[in-house]
Structure 1
Amino acid sequence: MNVKIYTTVTLIVGIVIIVNLLSDQYFIRLDFTEDKQYTLSGATKNILKELNDPVTITAYFSKGLPPDIARVRRDFREMLIEYNNVSKGMLVYEFVDPGKDDEKEMEAMQNGIQPVMINVREKDQMKQQKAFMGALVQFGEEKEVLPFIQPGVAMEYALSTAIKKISVIDKPSVGLLQGHGEPAINELQQVNVELSILYSFEPVTLTDTTSIPDRFKTLAIVRPTDSIPPSHFDKIDEFIARGGRLFVAMNRVKGDFSTAYGSSVNTGLETWLRNKGLQIDDNFVVDVSCGSVTVQQQQGVFTFSSNVSFPYLPIINTFAKHPITEGLEAVIFQFASPVSYIGDSTKTFTPIVKTSEKSGSLPVPQYFNIEKQWTELDFPLKNLAVGGVLEGNLFGNTPSKIVVITDGDFAVNGPGGQQLQPDNISLMVNSIDWLSDDTGLIELRTKGITYRPLDQLEDGTKTFLKYLNFLLPVILVIVYGLIRMQHNRNVRIKRLEESYV
């Protein structure tokens, strides 16, 4: 009997030891999140499988951190184990604790990883502690620094893009048209950061005698404000005729907040696109799902700021099922216009970005009345296309593609570097990825972005819910009181009957 018990205990202990040893290198994680935030994306797996030379990751993480911070180190380590398994050993890693000696701390800082100060509680007192939470990614002579590792989906995106950035040898070129009032590359800061992972993003200036260089497969035309000469359109046609792809983000209308006036924009690009079959109306799109503007209001002697809904700033969350819009949840436009296809059957147009079920289209000129009380009658239309893809033989006999977005400012940070919605940036970068036949990071770029707007309700529904919210508790109390009163009455009657008997 004792031998049997001893054998069973030994077997259980052995199994536990083996499981722990295996779990140190392999583990299974069940992911029940909506967009599989804790499962490696297909883009990451493709990046790792394409590695021809080893990638070395040195993770500088301090030990002895509070549990919520230490979790980041554990999550990063588990992610590196998965990366190592998927890459079949082409990705190797090590963890270094810079707090052990001054030499390691100096090494981390020389590699671009600076310590951060975190609050820790020790003996009922709050203290600040220096912590390292970064990593160095190396591929041959190339290096990329992750100065601060963030938890969640951002961790996978930062690591995978760093690997992709340094492992790509010959980056294809993407051009940004200049010379007609377009923003410079430094005014598209967020777009430039994303594109620099896979591409060489370069300015392109046209003249009557120069053409678009052959190294460019995709050309971006973003928010031109001046007239584009016909000779420049000839150069763009030549580019398309040899299979070049085009991304266009243009303004057909513009609004001036200082004068509260909206007018049309004419650069010649609208005529050139119309000849290709795309009609962009010089109308303002308005949408019940919209952004807000800050206005100064006077009440007595007091002046205060308040946010007012402004339907001319549509929040777009209706997207077609397309690689460009995969994973997008909300894009904010500023003064967009409707686009439609008026060409023949030799080309195909696919709307990929649309307004909500309650939207409208207003002709120019427009005077913006911030105090206007908008009603449902102002939004008689639905699902107006404000962006789409045109495919076919657009010039000559070589198939090509054009992505058109009818807001030229949606991805422009401007000279001041205003930060934009992540999905705004993803819409442009995904478009260029798709046009350039390199969709490797589309899936990962939009993974984990969450936007959960409240459903728009009818006025009658709002009124019903308001009164229901007010009256239901009162009714429940009254009903409970009546039930309790009847119950007590029945008890008294029963007691009287028993006493009578």
Structure 2
Amino acid sequence: MKIKFPLVKKDLLTHVSIACISALLLFITAFVQFFGFQRFFIAGFGSSDLSSLFSLVPYVYSLIIPLLVLICSDSSVEDFFPFSSFKIIASKLASIFILVVFITIPFFVIPACVNIFGKVESAQVITGFLGLALYAFTAISFCLLLNEIFSVKPLFLSVSIVFLLVINSLGIVPYYANCNNFFTSLFNFVCFTYHFDSFKKGIVDTRDLFFYLISASVFILLACYADEKKRGRIFSKGRLKNYCSLLVLITIFAFLDSSRLYTRLDFTKDKQFSVSKYTKKTLSSVSDPVLITYYRSKELVSRYPQVNDVYDYLKICAKENKKISLKLADANKDENQKILELLNVMPQQIQNVNNNKTEFVKVYSAIVIEYKGRKEVLPFVLSTASLEFELNMRFDSLINNKRLSVYILAGNEYVSDDYNYLELLLKNSNIEVYPLAKQSLPYIEDQLENSIPLILFGTSKLSPDEARVIENFILRGGKAFIATSQYKVNIDSDWSITKNADDNFIPVLEKWGVKFEDKIANDLSNVRTSFISSSVHPDAINETNQYENINYPQWISLLPQKNIPDGITMFWASPIKAGAGVEPLFSTSNMSWTVKESKIAPDTGLFITNPFYVEKSAIEDPLFTKEQSVLGVRLKNALTGIYNFGTNENPEVIVLSDQYFALNLLLELSGGETGDFRNLDFIISSVLDLAGQTELKKMKGGGVRNSSLYKITDPLEYLKAVRKVIIWGFFVPVFFIIAAAVVLNIIRKKQNEKI
């Protein structure tokens, strides 16, 4: 294609070499930062989320764009061009923008490499590059203005780089300085990278779009005015005043309009930032006024910008029905804090650094929904993750008078209070919890409602009559989530494992096609946690205890799979041999193995469980078998009982081979300082599934996507993929960029020789 603009053609042919060098700089910096500094290839650190990658580019642009503006500007020559100031500046803008696009092309290699290991959100890539283009367009316009103001080249280069870096960093100033609302809003508004945030998530927000386009237009007009002044053109005071007034008014009204009337287009695959059809239907049925009040502390806006997404999402919900009104309340005001106290909303503590001092600040981020004199509360929200689910659980309760309920029963040596982390999370999700006692089951059998799912932990202490009640509940259409095992672990002492004697419910499961094998599953993908080791020094009188971080293969960290998108943790789980009509839900990795029972030393248990002595990988031993294990199943075929007559043609039953799956103590031990509550989330999702609430189940994981590197689980294949990325994803593109620089430079020289 022939370039019809002579100034653009001149700049592209003259400066193509420096563009290749800039492309090399950008690519190497981005690749090393994303794959190297972020420890992408180290298990547990890598992520397919490209937000951090896109966040880096504007700062690299802050060095490249001023350099390109500098080399594309030659005032000693431009003064003799037979073109207007606007044409000259517009041509420089176009040529530099084309060069920046050219520089960014190799950048596409990085998302392609990431997609080998995990699913890359295509919308994030597309909108991310759109945001980069808009940012570059605005930054180039700004630098062209500075170029007209500062005629000394070294001064222009240093000033423009500093200005861009400062402007890009204004958005993080509220993180480290105690700014009031006015300055926080001002810094965010002026910051170029702040308006890039929505693009890197997969969203096109018209407010950010208008900001870039209007800012660039203003910078270009001012640059043209400055250039005309340098050329000696005289403007009358009246004309200059009208020109400036018009420019200011257009800018103000354009920004004000875009802040009031705006659209957020969500291009993500799962529509993470959009309202689903389920929510639209619920909100459209509102016949009386609904008031949604978002109580938010100002400190959160600067510390956690995601809360802006929460407010924006509430705006989207409010737009669905004229009966719904939304109010943003300052939680720092005393009267609002008193309201929250009456609603039993407790503040959370966040760390705040102010004047080189670290302090903890109490903050609120609560949503209160009022309808017909009743209230529902979301006590603390930091992001849109699962927000739609949490809102719908409260909308259904208020508007449709529907509230999901569950039964919880501990059928082993524990009681329901030992699983109360689950109970707290269920209640926090607005799910009614009915704890059951084993002994009361025969007396309340007729009162158990089939529509309420049963969560059962362990079955070893169930009497025949109690086992009969549970079997009858399922046969007459009850839904059940059963986490049980044929083994008992002495958790309170030496962790020895023995077999449960006379378990009255496992025979029921075996008849239904769920057979627990006489083995314990182990996996290289496991929990790494701190254990206390005791040692006696020869000169010491007493034992000395010290903590050691140990990988414990009997606590399996299951990798993300179709039915467990976030993964889960299982403790001393037995493999399940699934019979006919039993659907496997998830299994261990292909680097797992099983260990059979050992009858040699029954006094110490059937298995070696000491974290310091257990084998960390499969060994050559008759008791060890390298194999994958199914640890969770779902019953699909018709069920008949051994205690009761009757048949359930369409059962809704999920079985896991781990009775300690949600035990408070083990969740604390395996979760480290922050805790690991993926098991509890899985139970809630399973309960929603059993209750037929598939739409709500989808929302449970909404607002956040699976960014884990789940595609390659085999360690050897993983290493091969890493080598391919380093060779084909790094060295080959670097070679092609250098080769392109050489070839284009030769072409440029030949073009100059012809001239």
Normalising by structure 2, report the TM-score. 0.51
Moved more, 358-367 or 452-461: 452-461
- Residue 420 of structure 2 is matched in structure 1 by 188
**1:391 equivalent in alignment to 2:645:** no
Pair 1:309–1:50, CA change in 2 (3 A): farther
Pair 1:335–1:449, CA change in 2 (3 A): farther
Give the partner amino acid of 2:515: Q
- Residue 226 of structure 1 is matched in structure 2 by 461
Give the partner amino acid of 2:469: K
2:607 to 356, 362, 366: 366
**1:310 equivalent in alignment to 2:552:** yes
Distance 1:198 1:130 in 2: 27
The answer (yes or no) to whether the contact 1:252–1:264 under 8 Å persists in 2 is yes
Question: Deviation per CA, 1:234-279, whole angstroms, max 9, x where unpaired?
Answer: 3334333322222211022233363353222241222111112221
The answer (yes or no) to whether the contact 1:183–1:223 under 8 Å persists in 2 is no
**Structure having the larger proportion of residues in helix:** 2
Alignment of 1:419-430 (within 5 A): 421-430=676-685
2:264 to 28, 38, 45: 28
Alignment of 1:19-418 (within 5 A): 20-21=256-257, 23-30=259-266, 37-40=272-275, 44-45=279-280, 48-49=283-284, 51=286, 53-62=288-297, 65=299, 68-69=302-303, 71=305, 74-85=308-319, 87-97=320-330, 103-104=335-336, 106-113=338-345, 133-153=365-385, 158-167=390-399, 169-171=401-403, 173-177=405-409, 181=413, 183-184=415-416, 187-194=419-426, 197-203=430-436, 205=438, 211-213=445-447, 215-217=449-451, 218-229=453-464, 231-256=465-490, 258-266=493-501, 267-293=503-529, 294-296=531-533, 298=535, 303-317=545-559, 319=561, 321=562, 325=563, 328-343=565-580, 348-364=581-597, 365-369=606-610, 370-377=612-619, 380-395=625-640, 396-399=646-649, 400-413=651-664
The answer (yes or no) to whether the contact 1:191–1:428 under 8 Å persists in 2 is no
Question: Deviation per CA, 1:442-475, whole angstroms, max 9, x where unpaired?
Answer: 2232343767479766589989x99xx9xx9xxx
The answer (yes or no) to whether the contact 1:358–1:380 under 8 Å persists in 2 is no
Pair 1:122–1:254, CA change in 2 (3 A): closer
Distance 1:69 1:423 in 2: 25
Give the partner amino acid of 2:691: S
Give the partner amino acid of 2:688: D
Percent of aligned positions that are identical: 18
Moved more, 273-282 or 42-51: 42-51
Distance 1:361 1:275 in 2: 24
1:437 to 692, 695, 715: 692
Distance 1:367 1:123 in 2: 54
Give the partner amino acid of 2:653: I
Pair 1:15–1:318, CA change in 2 (3 A): closer
What SS does the corresponding residue of 1:284 show, helix, strand or coil? strand
Give the partner amino acid of 2:316: E
Question: Deviation per CA, 1:363-408, whole angstroms, max 9, x where unpaired?
Answer: 2221235334534447754442111101232133442222101101
The answer (yes or no) to whether the contact 1:252–1:336 under 8 Å persists in 2 is no
The answer (yes or no) to whether the contact 1:59–1:95 under 8 Å persists in 2 is yes
Q: 1:361, CA displacement in angstroms? A: 2.1
**Structure having the larger proportion of residues in strand:** 1
Give the partner amino acid of 1:441: L
The answer (yes or no) to whether the contact 2:457–2:482 under 8 Å persists in 1 is yes
Distance 1:283 1:140 in 2: 57
The answer (yes or no) to whether the contact 1:282–1:337 under 8 Å persists in 2 is yes
Pair 1:268–1:58, CA change in 2 (3 A): same
Distance 2:356 2:443 in 1: 75
What SS does the corresponding residue of 2:694 show, helix, strand or coil? coil
Q: 1:162, CA displacement in angstroms? A: 4.1
Pair 1:153–1:433, CA change in 2 (3 A): closer
Q: 1:337, CA displacement in angstroms? A: 0.9
Give the partner amino acid of 2:466: H
What SS does the corresponding residue of 1:434 show, helix, strand or coil? helix
Distance 1:331 1:256 in 2: 22
Moved more, 267-276 or 445-454: 445-454
Question: Deviation per CA, 1:196-255, whole angstroms, max 9, x where unpaired?
Answer: 6244534265555663425233333211332431x3343334333322222211022233
Pair 1:78–1:280, CA change in 2 (3 A): same
Give the partner amino acid of 1:80: L
Pair 1:168–1:336, CA change in 2 (3 A): farther
Q: 1:80, CA displacement in angstroms? A: 1.5
Distance 2:405 2:363 in 1: 40
Q: 1:193, CA displacement in angstroms? A: 3.1
What SS does the corresponding residue of 1:57 show, helix, strand or coil? strand
Question: Deviation per CA, 1:415-457, whole angstroms, max 9, x where unpaired?
Answer: 9988763320122222222222123432232343767479766
The answer (yes or no) to whether the contact 1:318–1:353 under 8 Å persists in 2 is no
The answer (yes or no) to whether the contact 1:177–1:222 under 8 Å persists in 2 is yes
Distance 2:555 2:295 in 1: 44
The answer (yes or no) to whether the contact 1:111–1:136 under 8 Å persists in 2 is no
Larger Cα-atom Rg: 2
Normalising by structure 1, report the TM-score. 0.73
What SS does the corresponding residue of 1:271 show, helix, strand or coil? helix
The answer (yes or no) to whether the contact 1:290–1:314 under 8 Å persists in 2 is yes
The answer (yes or no) to whether the contact 2:405–2:431 under 8 Å persists in 1 is no
Pair 1:380–1:134, CA change in 2 (3 A): same
**Unpaired segments ≥5 residues, structure 2:** 1-237, 598-605, 641-645, 732-755
**Unpaired segments ≥5 residues, structure 1:** 477-501
Pair 1:421–1:140, CA change in 2 (3 A): farther
The answer (yes or no) to whether the contact 2:310–2:382 under 8 Å persists in 1 is no
What SS does the corresponding residue of 1:367 show, helix, strand or coil? coil
Pair 1:123–1:287, CA change in 2 (3 A): closer
Distance 2:523 2:355 in 1: 56
